[in-house]
A and B are shown apart, each in its own frame.
Chain A
């Protein structure tokens, strides 16, 4: 598999002996920011249903109907975030601070929002912040890391991010354990934690990305606008494959719903299903990133989808679902995220020059998110027409067809070692 990264990199960053030492400080700082922010965000997510039902006495049914709208807005905001971040010679940090800051400001707002529409608006604003910050943050990670270590760097970041997501609910329920019905205390602590995350970002993440990208990044040729992204060698195919596979990736909610319906999962375990996926993601993210650096990111990206294919197959083929099957599905689901989430960002970073990095990441990320959203709508419709089993069988068939197409499309034919001239180079002047 082609990855042109390693040719130019050694000049940019001195090699160190140990692999771990090679994770740049900026990446660890951004990982810490994500960890802290996810503790804050998941504290709120964990207690929100209880707060609505027990604290406010509301019936939150139908509240999720607007989820799709929010997701669509989030995807567009992500594009805007990428565009803003690349402008003016790199305002990644400023846009990231704005995004993290906006989400942090939403936490104290929960203290005063007491109706469903208001709480929905606060959550939408929170997601806007998340959409805004994702592309500049991933751009900062890629710009701070030598190309041949980016898989690992994104793996470390995603692992720290997920660790925060797992710790948040624990902290929230510790607070509720000390102060029964203390939802305001949970929101206050969450706001404080979020503020700390923004502060760590402001203090410890360099404004002009240190490391590799610091020396300034020339653009390959001419003015670079969004259409230029699509003419960039490698990127359209990568984006198309991400969208194609996204179209056959059933959303998490449906996966857990299918597990509940088709497998005999005891009721009290339902809340633990997402934790299973997250735990597997946490444990596998760093190794997967390192493997991606060795065997190629696109190859691992495709392997991740194969893992998902096996998971779907298990749900379809194992009736009644004994416990080992449930665990296997969750591990494969987590492995899918470990092999695709950070790895896709690393692969995109490999074909997009520094000056357009955030835009490129946003474009592919948005395409993938919108494709998954479209899949959710299609999956829900298929469920209505044919039932849950046939709907999953359809998605599985779609994934089984898409994966080989993606493998063929991403085959390094044009960029084989025999023809390196056709490959995008690093476009770096340093």
Chain B
């Protein structure tokens, strides 16, 4: 071939491939735009006052994933009418949790070179008190029962060709002093009673017992442990194997968690369990599907957790004692929390 025909082939290919690329982008952009419009059959949402203040009735706050102008905003519904109209706050969060008038919101900021993420501490009226930059994609957040401490976990991604090395980074913040422990991996680890360090230690899913103590998942060497954390002593002590995403009950006696059960498919390996901390006995929850979420306690006896749904995720609920059957509580919703 001489040069002109080669260039002609190249030009034709550039036009064809460029056209295909442009079509794909335009198509995806149109789809993204349609997500901003409400659709029939979805829970409706309208703006209003959303607060974390007590004494305003029992209600649920969560991230709505329903299409429309309020998509991804924190919304509120009465606890006794979860299917009712959603009051939206105008605050967009990927992950959300709240306790005693303090909210933690992990949100994305859209920039020209991709999204960046930040953790925002909210006051009782969901106004920003302070924000902290995040190192990766948000996955979990929790506020301590008193509202003083906040914790979050992000995914930090690989850095090589077709990189598939994912790790987590978990931070704890004291909202009274604003002192941030940026990386819990700097804590001293006691595994099976002995000091332990390894490059592959990952921590995720903090749940607070009080302002000085918490539970968290510790992973190393392809296994996971439930670890007890001490903020002042900066120590992590492993307690039990095969526990992920712990969630402490309001009375502090039980931990709901996801457990890797042998024989399940590699991409859906978990079942929801509850561990009694006094007897160290595990009880399977009635949910038979694989749950990949840090469950929340909706009250002393009931768990809430996310499962994939038509609009990203739905919130399901099941009794913590293993009785009953799972029930869908909220559609197109993520990260629920009960406020009284």
Contact = CB atoms under 8 A, between A and B. Distances in A.
Among B158, B202, B312, find the residue whose CB has the most chain A CB atoms closer than 10 A.
B158
A273 B157 CA distance: 12
B20 interface: yes
Nearest to A200: B10
A261 B24 contact: no
Among B161, B171, B202, find the residue whose CB has the most chain A CB atoms closer than 10 A.
B161
Interface in A120-148: 120, 123, 126-127, 130
B53 to A, nearest CB: 31
B164 A196 contact: no
Interface stretch (B39-47, B79-87, B111-119, B120-128): B111-119
Nearest to A183: B28
Contact of A179 (B31, B157, B182, B200): B31
B199 A61 contact: no
B113 A189 contact: no
Among B26, B157, B164, B222, find the residue whose CB has the most chain A CB atoms closer than 10 A.
B164
A249 to B, nearest CB: 14
A420 to B, nearest CB: 41
Interface stretch (B97-105, B134-142, B280-288, B319-327): B134-142
Contacts, number: 191
Interface residues of A, number: 75
A49 B20 contact: no
Contacts of B163: 45, 48
B133 A188 contact: no
Contacts of A42: 161
A318 interface: no
The 6 closest A-B pairs by CB, nearest first: A182-B28, A179-B28, A64-B165, A49-B157, A173-B114, A188-B24
Interface of A: 41-42, 44-46, 48-50, 53-54, 57-67, 115-117, 120, 123, 126-127, 130, 169-170, 172-182, 184-185, 188-189, 192-193, 195-196, 199-200, 203-204, 252-254, 256-257, 260-261, 266-268, 270-271, 273-274, 379-380, 383-384, 387-388, 391
Given A178-B25, A185-B27, A199-B10, 12 more contacts: A45-B160, A169-B114, A178-B28, A179-B27, A185-B29, A189-B25, A195-B13, A203-B1, A261-B183, A267-B171, A268-B133, A274-B159
Interface of B: 1, 6, 9-10, 13-14, 17-18, 20-21, 24-29, 31-32, 35, 94, 110, 112-116, 132-137, 139, 155-169, 171, 182-183, 185-186, 196-200, 202, 204, 219, 222, 266-267, 292, 308, 312-313
